[in-house]
Amino acid sequence: MKKRFACLAAATLVISFFLITACSESSRDAAPEKTSRDRQIPVTAAKAVLKEIPIEIKTFGNVQARSSIQIKSEVDGILAKVHFSKGQTIRRGDLLFTIDSRSYQAELDRARANLLRDRAMEEHALLTAARFRELFKRELISRSDNDKAQAEAAALTATVRADRAAEATAGLQVGRCSIYSPITGRAGDLLTAEGSLIRAREATMVTINQIRPIEVFFSVPQADLPAIRSAMAGGILRVRAGLPGDSRPPEEGDLFFIDNSINQGTGTVRLAGVFSNDREVLWPGQYVTVTLVLGIRKDALVVPAESVQAGQDGKFVFVVKEDQTVELRPVAVQMATGVEAVIDRGLGAGERVVTDGHLELVPGARVEIRAAADKEPAKTPGARP
C-alpha cells in the first residue's frame, strides 16, 4: 500500500513538472507576439492632393511614312545618268534619272516633219476647195468635182490633227526620259545602276519616303472610343510619340484618323497622328510609345501610384490616421499615369497614404513615418493639399 502511494506521488510530481514547463514556454511564446503587435512599423507616406492632371491614353504604335513612292520608268531605254545619292534628301521636282532619249528624239523629229508636210498639203487643199466652191456656184464645174475637192481638204485637215497628236506623244516620250521626284522625302537604296537597260513600268528604281510630316499609327481598346469621340467634339486632340528609353522630349502631333471599323479579333480600333517631325526623330518602321491626350481634369485627387495595392476585393490603400495607426481603405482608381494614380472615390484630400512598407502592415498597426514622410506626388502647377 505504501509503495502504491509512493508511485502515485511520483507520477503527480512528473505531471506537475511538465505542466509548469509547458506554461512557461507558452508565456515566452506569447511575449514576442505581444511585442510585435505593439511595435511601430517604419513606413513612408505621402498626402493625397488636388491638382490638374491630363487625361491620357498610353499605348504603343508604329511610324509610317506620310507618302511612299516607288519610282519606275515609263519608257524603255538605257539609264544614262543618276542625279542623286543613296539616302539623300530629295525635294519635289528634283531630277532623279536621265534615260537615253536619242531614239525618242528621232521619233519627235519625224513627227514634226510629217506635221510640216501635211500642213502644207492642207493649205493647198483648202485653197483648192475654196476655189472649186466658187466655180460650182457659177455652175462652171460639176457637183462631183466640188465634192471631191472639199473631201480632200477635210481629209488633210484630219491628217494634220493626227500629226499634232503624234508630235505630242513623241514629245511626252522624250520628256519621260527625265524622271523627277513627285514628293519631298528621303531616298532609299538605289536599285539600278547607270548603263542598265530599263523596262517601262517593271522594276522599281528607288523608293522615296516622305518623313516630314510623318504618321504614327496605334490601336486602343474599343471601350476608349466613346471618350475619344467625346473629347474630339472640343477640338483636335494632341498625340505624343517618343522612342522607348529616350531621354529627349517626345514629338507632338495631332490626331487625324480614326478607322471606320473595329478589329473583331482584338477588340481594338486603329488611330493615327500626324507629326511635323522637324527634328527627324521619328523614322518609318520605328516602334514608339504613344500618348493620346483627351483633356485636362481639374481638381483630380492624386496619390503616388505605389501607394495603391491590389487585393482580392479590389484596389486599396493604407491610410495613416492621427494616432499613427493605419486603416485599410478600399478605393476606386480612375486612371494611372505611371507615377501617379487618380482616385475617384474612397479617399479625401490631405489624407496620408503609405507609399512603402506595406508588407508588414495590418489594419490597426502602429507605424513610424520615416524621413521621407509626407513626400507628395510629383509637383504640378496648381496642386494644393
Amino acid of residue 316: F
Please state which CATH number belongs to domain 102-175.
Answer: 1.10.287
- Pairwise CA distance, residues 284 & 297, whole Å: 34
**Contact at 8 Å (CB) between 146 and 135?**
yes
Give the Cα separation of 57 and 76 in Å (integer).
52
**Among 366, 248, 279, which residue's Cα sits nearest to residue 318?**
366
Whole-prediction pTM = 0.68
Q: What is the architecture of the domain spanning 41-53+299-369?
A: Beta Barrel (2.40)
Nearest to 90 by CA among 11, 181, 1, 20: 181
Which homologous superfamily does the CATH classification assign to the domain defined by 58-65+211-297? Answer: Efflux pump adaptor protein, beta barrel domain (2.40.30.170)
Q: How far apart are the first and last CA of the chain?
A: 86
Domains 41-53+299-369 and 58-65+211-297 share a fold: no
Q: What pLDDT sits at residue 377?
A: 52
Task: Say how far apart CA 206 and CA 87 lie, in whole Å.
Answer: 10
Q: What are the sequence ranges of the domains in the chain?
A: 41-53+299-369, 58-65+211-297, 73-100+177-203, 102-175
The secondary structure of the chain, three-state, reads CHHHHHHHHHHHHHHHHHHHHHHHHHHHHHHHHHHHHHCCEEEEEEECEEEEEEEEEEEEEEEEEEEEEEECCCCCEEEEEECCCCCCEECCCCEEEEECCHHHHHHHHHHHHHHHHHHHHHHHHHHHHHHHHHHHHCCCCCHHHHHHHHHHHHHHHHHHHHHHHHHHHHHHHHHCCEEECCCCEEECCCCCCCCCEECCCCCCCEEEEEEEEEEEEEEEEHHHHHHHHHHHCCCCCEEEEECCCCCCCCEEEEEEEEEEEEECCCCEEEEEEEECCCCCCCCCCCEEEEEEEEEEEEEEEEEEHHHCEEECCEEEEEEECCCCEEEEEECEEEEECCCEEEEEECCCCCCEEEEECHHHCCCCCEEEECCCCCCCCCCCCCCEC
Is-contact 167 104, C-beta < 8 A? no
- Residue 110 CA to residue 351 CA, distance in Å, equals 93
CATH T-level topology, domain 73-100+177-203: OB fold (Dihydrolipoamide Acetyltransferase, E2P) (2.40.50)
How confident is the model at residue 316, as a pLDDT?
Answer: 94
* Residue 347, C-alpha cell as written in the block: 479617399
Q: Which residues contact 376 (CB under 8 A, 6 or more apart)?
A: 46, 47, 49, 383, 385
Nearest residue to 189 (alpha-carbon basis) of 206, 203, 210: 206
How does pLDDT run along the chain (385 residues), one tens digit per residue?
A: 444 544 444 455 444 544 445 444 444 444 444 444 567 899 999 999 998 888 889 999 999 999 999 999 999 999 999 999 999 999 999 999 999 999 999 999 999 999 999 999 999 999 999 999 999 999 899 999 999 999 999 999 999 999 999 999 999 999 999 999 999 999 999 999 999 999 999 999 999 999 999 999 999 999 999 999 999 998 999 999 999 988 889 999 999 999 999 999 999 999 999 999 999 999 999 999 999 999 888 888 999 999 999 988 899 999 999 899 999 999 998 777 668 888 988 999 999 999 998 888 999 999 988 865 444 454 444 444 4
